[in-house]
Amino acid sequence: MRPFIVAGNWKMNKTLEEGKALVREVLARFDQPPYGLVVFAVPFPLLQAVGALLSERPGFSLAAQNCHHEEKGAYTGEVSVDMLASVGAKYVIIGHSERRQYFRESHEQLARKVNLALSRGLTPIFCCGEPLSVRERNNHVSYVARQLRASLFHLSEADMCRVVIAYEPVWAIGTGKTATADQAQEMHAALRTLLARRYSPNTAQLIPILYGGSCNAQNAPDLFQQPDVDGGLIGGASLKAEEFSAIIRAMRF
């Protein structure tokens, strides 16, 4: 069965000392490994230090928030998947709406990032999600289907089974406006149907689909009860140890 995952995406927040303190505070709240998997997606300069804190802790893992779509070379300021793997990252977020919007990342670039991550043994957390105008026209399912077709559906079935998908409606990110549990379930079920058609029903059942967008300790239990919601990608609420820990405890059994 697919794993349940709660991932904290810190975005561009936390210095080294602040980040280490936050991770220590979360870890201190768990004597036993969490029911599912907890992932910290931290800024590049913090990866190694946070990884060291997580290394002896089963159930906790390390992610980067982005990678470059080329293997290496003259790309000043960029970070390659090999570098991420070399400092212990196991996951990498690809195609976050902030990257698509502010950095104009294209479907094709995202497909190349997915390929590179998989080739180096990193698990892509591939983000998709529609802006408000698309939802208002009721075109949200076809919009997100296009994102998957353009950047994921070239993968072999074996490679697809190594991907985590995160559905993050753009209108819910950082706005305090969460998708309702029904809206999340509708989209997650639609995504699973797309996966079943492109690959197989069995593969569709194996791929975790996380929800992201103003997920917090209050709404997580409801969202996580939905049968096709396999966890959350948490922004703002992952920056506070108490709240993030409460979201981890809301994981569905």
Active site (catalytic) residues = 96, 168
Between 173 and 199, whose beta carbon lies closer to ligand 13P? 173
State yes or no: residue 147 binds ligand 13P (CB under 6 A). no
State yes or no: residue 194 binds ligand 13P (CB under 6 A). no
How far CA 253 is from CA of 61, 85, 250, in Å, comes to 19, 31, 9
State yes or no: residue 94 binds ligand 13P (CB under 6 A). no
Choose the binding region for ligand 13P from 27-35, 156-164, 183-191, 208-216 (rule: CB under 6 A). Answer: 208-216
- From the list 226, 143, 132, 148, the residue with the least C-alpha distance to 180 is 226
| Among the listed residues 34, 36, 95, 236, the single contact to ligand 13P using CB under 6 A | 236
Q: What number of chain residues touch ligand 13P (CB under 6 A)?
A: 14
Helix extents (H) in the chain: 16-28, 47-54, 81-86, 97-102, 107-119, 132-136, 140-151, 157-160, 181-198, 201-206, 220-224, 241-249
State yes or no: residue 235 binds ligand 13P (CB under 6 A). yes
Local structure of 144: helix, strand or coil:
helix
Between 51 and 232, whose beta carbon lies closer to ligand 13P? 232
DSSP notation for 80-93 = -HHHHHHTT--EEE
State yes or no: residue 109 binds ligand 13P (CB under 6 A). no
How is residue 126 written in tokens?
């591939």
CA 248 – CA 157 distance, rounded (Å): 30
Choose the binding region for ligand 13P from 44-52, 139-147, 168-176, 188-196 (rule: CB under 6 A). Answer: 168-176
| Among the listed residues 9, 66, 147, 245, the single contact to ligand 13P using CB under 6 A | 9
